[in-house]
Structure 1
Amino acid sequence: MSTAATPSLAELATRLAETACITAPFQLADGARLDAYFDEYRLAADPALLRDTATTMAALVPDDAQLLAGIELGGVPLVVALSAATGLPAVFLRRRPKAYGSRRQIEGAAFNGRRTVLVDDVVRSGGQLLTMARTLRLAGAPVADALCVLERPLGGRMLLAEHNVTLHSLLTEGDLLSPEPEGAE
């Protein structure tokens, strides 16, 4: 197993762009279409890239965080890797409660009263993160922060801020299109 040093943000952006940025037609859940998209499964399928992404994202986790919450499906591998990188326990959020078995919407560590940070792959409008923040809050887990690998400038940050959730993004769409050289301002 490798114990390589954490790459710079520019190096990581380049690797993420090469591995997970796909130029092909893609339809979002709301029906909108994209000409290119970020394939979180390619990120999750590359163990070194997933480890390096989580290690880099660990610096974005607020100091007072007590729990990490990954949103199905893209946020689950990220939250597992981020949990390993930070030592914080994790929960996993379904969009809807499971229809059989436990019938839970939230699985994993005990969460009641623990300051929870949401984790997802891409944030666009922020609607999914806001829904999950509400779900956690109703269940007794205070949520004031969310993390993502990639932020698309489609209003998500503003929507979340209106509901007292601060978004911390590792990269923006522009970072993947043309990563800044090391030391650039």
Structure 2
Amino acid sequence: MTDLKKRLAKILLEKSYIEGEVTLTSGKKSDYYFDCKQTALHAEGSWLIGTLFLELLKDCDIDGVGGMTLGADPLVSAVTVLSHAQGRNLPGFIVRKQPKGHGTNQYLEGMSNFRPGSRVVLLEDVVTTGGTLLKAIERVRDAGLEIAGVLCVLDREEGGRANIENAGLELTSIFTRRELLDAGKD
């Protein structure tokens, strides 16, 4: 798996990691921006993320994966498609930021693949404070699903892990910022 992580780090640093002062979704200032969608929408990047997430999920007894739109959309798709190719068949769902206002008017899409009490893992591209994840956690629990954990591509190590743990969940990341920079050096 180390070779896959190193390759993913190279793609992330090339396509998704931008140094320079930015304002994040949380309102915090940062000296770098991480736009994971650029890698998650790249064919090899998507395959690597899906493969690494599935490796992290190999011992988890879960019924599927999901996450908050838009960052988690390509992550959920990668995991669901690769899980099928591996014979595991993990369906996915997407959490809307707002209910669509018509039809079923619900926050979660893909719920016909799940039943109340289904065990799921949430996927996220980058975690800073965990604010987006906390909204997703609330909506997923309100929909009657049991959350078994949270996986992310990058943990910025800026309080998100502690906030997720305070919600009773464990956050597992493919990389922290330091790990990403170190892996990309080789």
TM-score, L = length of structure 1: 0.86
- Alignment of 1:173 with 2:177, yes or no, is yes
Separation in 2 of the partners of 1:113 and 1:65?
11
- Provide the rounded CA distance (Å) in 2 between the counterparts of 1:72 and 1:113: 22
Instruction: Identify which of 120, 136, 139 aligns with 1:135.
Output: 139
In the alignment, does 2:24 pair up with 1:22? no
Tell whether the 8 Å contact from 1:13 to 1:179 is kept in structure 2 after alignment: yes
Note the alpha carbon deviations across 1:104-135, whole angstroms, 9 max, x for none.
21001334210011011001111221221121
The answer to whether the aligner puts 1:66 opposite 2:63 as a matched pair is yes
Q: Show the 5 A alignment for 1:80-119.
A: 80-86=77-83, 87-108=89-110, 109-119=113-123
Which portions of structure 1, spanning 4 or more consecutive aligned residues, are displaced by more than 4 angstroms?
Answer: none
Is the Cα–Cα contact under 8 Å of residues 6 and 55 in structure 1 kept in the other structure?
A: no
CA shift at 1:181, angstroms? 7.4
| Percent identity (aligned) | 33
Whether the 8 Å contact between 2:120 and 2:148 is mirrored in structure 1 is: yes
Conserved? CA contact 1:13–1:176, under 8 Å:
yes
- Structure 1 residue 29: Cα displacement: 2.4
Q: Tell whether 2:8 aligns with 1:12.
A: yes
Name the structure 1 match of 2:124.
Answer: 120
Q: Which structure shows the higher helix fraction?
A: 2
Q: Does the 8 Å contact 1:57/1:82 carry over to 2? A: yes
| Structure 2 counterpart of 1:79, one-letter code | V
Match of 2:167 in 1: 163
- Structure 1 counterpart of 2:104, which letter? S
Instruction: Please list, as runs of the form range in 1=range in 2, the aligned pairs for 1:38-49 lying within 5 A after superposition.
Output: 38-49=34-45
Letter in 2 for 1:115: R
Q: Counterpart of 1:178 in 2: which secondary structure?
A: helix
C-alpha separation in 2, matches of 1:173 and 1:38: 10
Q: Number of residues paired by the alignment?
A: 178
Task: List gaps (5 residues or longer) in structure 2.
Answer: 84-88
Q: CA deviation at 1:143?
A: 0.8
Deviates more, 1:149-158 or 1:125-134: 125-134
Q: Distance in 1 between matches of 2:27 and 2:159?
A: 17
- For structure 1, the 5+ residue unaligned runs are none
Letter aligned with residue 122 of structure 1: V
CA apart distance, 1:58: 0.8
Deviation at 1:15? 2.1
